[in-house]
């Protein structure tokens, strides 16, 4: 019988499949479609210190083999998440959940993480360093090893649960940033976040998205994600969570061979709300096809 179990920073998952933040809400919406307890876990909607309405519309654009979004971290703020969203989630999900955290200053990150760290439902903190640093000219925290390191250090000082730093691919050297986060105490690394993209309306001759540019995701970015996961997993000694264009059980296996301990599925959830369930159900077939008995055995198993 195929063994789908993996261990993610001390917590055993029934399988490595994790819906990515921003594509699965707070879970209970999907629980109306199927039993979401089949998931390894999921990363809930990116949460900030204060409520955010998000960017002006239109903020979604379709493109070949993917999509561009500039939602702008719309969320009710950490206090509402704790008071309202997590209690609703508890009614339909009996596993530990991954809390995704965003911020616009180091203080924002520390404040939000400290509150979510105290929640019994939260198993891991996934810290998105792709946000603009409002005190540093708007440059993303994740584009600079020193800034990514400072965020990691600040969060680690106020938390006890595993901290996973989520990296942006919009850099020239993602390995140096991953290593800086590891040196600062990160327990794990997740990657890649969306790439930067843009579409133009030919008739109007204006950008399709009001924000002009947005995050490009979908199956088109999968090869880039595999390459970056491989590079980072080869350079750090902490677990890596791979994501970026994953849409099938075969993709999950490929990510794990590149070095991922677990795999997040993002844009595919917006195309097919049953995507993660279907991928999990298909994993035993793909494992049998490639003579894999246990997923734990194939992590970083690519031959070069």
C-alpha to C-alpha distance for 63 and 245, rounded to whole angstroms: 13
Cβ atoms of 101 and 113 within 8 Å: the answer is: yes
Residue 215 DSSP one-character state: E
CB atoms within 10 A of CB 158: 14
C-alpha to C-alpha distance for 9 and 181, rounded to whole angstroms: 16
Residues with active-site annotation: 131
Cβ atoms of 171 and 177 within 8 Å: the answer is: yes
C-alpha to C-alpha distance for 243 and 19, rounded to whole angstroms: 10
C-alpha to C-alpha distance for 111 and 119, rounded to whole angstroms: 14
C-alpha to C-alpha distance for 240 and 230, rounded to whole angstroms: 9
Written as six digits, the tokens of 69 are 């979004």
Q: Is the peptide bond before 58 cis (omega within 30 degrees of 0)?
A: yes
C-alpha to C-alpha distance for 256 and 267, rounded to whole angstroms: 19
């Amino acid at each position: 019988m195929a063994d789908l179990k993996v261990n993610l920073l001390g917590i055993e998952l029934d399988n490595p499949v994790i819906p990515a933040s921003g594509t699965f809400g707070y879970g209970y919406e999907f629980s109306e479609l199927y039993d979401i307890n089949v998931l390894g876990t999921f990363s809930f909607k990116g949460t900030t210190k204060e409520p955010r309405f998000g960017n002006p519309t239109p903020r979604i654009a379709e493109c070949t083999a993917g999509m561009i979004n500039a939602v702008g971290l719309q969320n009710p703020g950490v206090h509402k998440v704790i008071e309202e969203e997590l209690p609703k989630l508890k009614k339909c999900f009996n596993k530990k959940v991954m809390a995704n955290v965003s911020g616009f200053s180091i203080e924002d990150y520390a404040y939000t993480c400290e509150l979510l760290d105290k929640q019994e439902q939260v198993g891991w903190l996934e810290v998105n360093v792709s946000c603009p640093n409002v005190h540093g000219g708007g440059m993303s925290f994740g584009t600079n090893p020193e800034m990514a390191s400072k965020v990691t250090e600040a969060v680690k000082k106020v938390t006890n649960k595993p901290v996973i730093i989520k990296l942006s691919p919009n850099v020239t050297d993602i390995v140096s940033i991953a290593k800086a986060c590891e040196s600062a105490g990160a327990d794990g690394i997740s990657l890649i976040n969306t790439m930067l993209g843009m579409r133009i309306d030919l008739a109007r001759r204006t950008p399709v998205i009001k924000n002009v540019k947005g995050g490009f995701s979908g199956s088109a970015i999968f090869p880039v994600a595999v390459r970056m996961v491989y590079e980072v997993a080869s350079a750090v000694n902490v677990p890596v969570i791979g994501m970026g264009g994953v849409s099938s059980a075969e993709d999950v296996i490929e990510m794990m061979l590149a070095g991922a301990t677990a795999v997040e599925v993002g844009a595919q959830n917006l195309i097919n709300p049953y995507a993660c369930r279907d991928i999990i159900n298909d994993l035993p077939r793909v494992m049998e096809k490639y003579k894999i008995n246990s997923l734990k055995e194939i992590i970083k198993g690519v031959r070069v």
